[in-house]
Amino acid sequence: MTVAQPATTAPRPVTLSELAKHKSESDLWVAHMGRVYNVTQFANDHPGGADLILEYAGQEIDQVMADAEIHEHSDGAYDMLTEYYVGPLVKSASKAKDGAAAIIDPVSPLDEQLTAGLASAKRPLLDLSQPLVWQMLTSTFSKDYYLTQVHIPRHLPEPAYLFGNPVLEVLTRTPWYVVPLTWTPVVAYLAWSAAQVFPLETVVSMFFAGLVMWSFFEYTFHRFLFHIDTYLPDHPYALTLHFLTHGIHHYLPMDRMRLVLPPIFFAIIVQPPWFFFRAFLDFPSCAGLFSGGIAGYIIYDLTHYYLHHARVRTGYLRDLKKYHLAHHYKEYNEGFGITSKAWDYVFGTVLEYTDVKSGKRKTA
């Protein structure tokens, strides 16, 4: 069982008139820095939304790629673009600026972007056309090599195969709507249980306390469990566990079926805090608190999915999207908050990075 890969054919020159013909959702080309790319397979997974790419289909996108107000792009984005290279863009001599050659230099501008950041370190890690788990279990690369490569994003036009077994694939893929369908009844039951003992205003207070509690768990889980890089054993089994819990999301950040947590996984990681609180709180009190906590988790996972796969227009969510995508594409050791930056400010992990073009430090 294999996964479709971007087509690789010999590069060939493409004229402006030919480029302009490829402007539909099913046949979408763009040009950047004198190079033409067929991004048809990638359009639907574009973090800024397919409609943003369609708006500039069949055109040169140099200014768009550089405009952070439209949609900011990282070193990883430029690197990902190279997978869809068609060939150099050919311009007529009359339109070439300052007497430039008819075929624009296709190499140096893009290479300057790539060597400026993480993408310059990209090396082979896994064969994305084959099931990934067995490759991880039998891997011979070091932990340092793995951690470098797994945090350099790749893209597939469809969900990756983990096991190659159809049954296991179905069981390990989680559509976003499974999260509210599974956990909303649990939230309702816990809130109802608390309401059997406490007055409504107390249950509401517990619920909101649980939301705050979740925001702290969201940060700590992400930073200390999902990014347990320093203390991760240098062994294929440990690397495989890391890959399955969070590494795959950094490796394939636009995989829609590997983004939200499978219910069984969340059911496991919620056990320690539940039993911790049960050690000194009765069941109704824990129920009221965890009704808000699990509701916070639902909000978190749906927000996480939304930030990756929606074209966000509103101010707060747009800011969160830029912040979280910077965690993926610029600096994965900072910016651990998903629904809020609050705990990043508290613990000093607010994500800042050096802009490739301006050379200035920016807060995502």
Please state the domain count of the chain.
2
Confidence of residue 84 (pLDDT cuts 50, 70, 90): confident
The pLDDT of residue 94 is: 44
Confidence of residue 44 (pLDDT cuts 50, 70, 90): low
Domain co-membership, 327 together with 272: yes
Domain co-membership, 209 together with 304: yes
- Greater confidence, 135 or 317? 135
The whole-angstrom separation of Cα 144 and Cα 76 is 19
Domain co-membership, 200 together with 306: yes
Q: Does a structural domain hold residue 254?
A: yes
348 C-beta neighbours (distance < 10 Å), count: 7
**Binding residue ranges for heme:** 46, 73
β-pairing, 361-363 vs 23-24, is unpaired
Would the pLDDT of 73 be above 60? no
The pLDDT of residue 349 is: 96
Name the token pair of 265.
């996984």
Domain ranges, residue 67: 14-121
Q: Does a structural domain hold residue 144?
A: no
Q: Does a structural domain hold residue 292?
A: yes
Domain co-membership, 77 together with 180: no
Q: Does a structural domain hold residue 142?
A: no
* CA distances (Å), origin 205, targets 144, 200, 208, 212, 214: 45, 9, 5, 11, 14
Would the pLDDT of 4 be above 50? no
Would the pLDDT of 3 be above 60? no
Domain co-membership, 110 together with 205: no
Domain co-membership, 98 together with 181: no
The pLDDT of residue 292 is: 98
Nearest CA to 162 among 137, 140, 185, 183? 137
Domain co-membership, 304 together with 357: yes
Residues in a beta bridge with 35: 32, 88
**Binding residue ranges for Zn(2+):** 222, 227, 246, 249-250, 304, 308, 324, 327-328
Dmax of the chain from CA atoms? 82
Residue % of the chain over a pLDDT of 70: 78
Q: Give residue-wise pLDDT tens across range 226-266.
A: 999 889 999 999 999 999 999 999 999 989 999 999 999 99
| Helix, strand, or coil (residue 121) | helix
Would the pLDDT of 223 be above 60? yes
**Binding residue ranges:** 46, 73, 222, 227, 246, 249-250, 304, 308, 324, 327-328
Would the pLDDT of 331 be above 80? yes
The pLDDT of residue 231 is: 92
Q: Does a structural domain hold residue 330?
A: yes
Q: pTM for this one?
A: 0.75
Name the token pair of 236.
């294929």
Name the token pair of 342.
């609050």
The pLDDT of residue 95 is: 45
Residue in the block written with tokens 């890959």: 243
φ and ψ of 60, to 5 deg? -80, 140
The whole-angstrom separation of Cα 300 and Cα 336 is 12
Domain co-membership, 116 together with 170: no
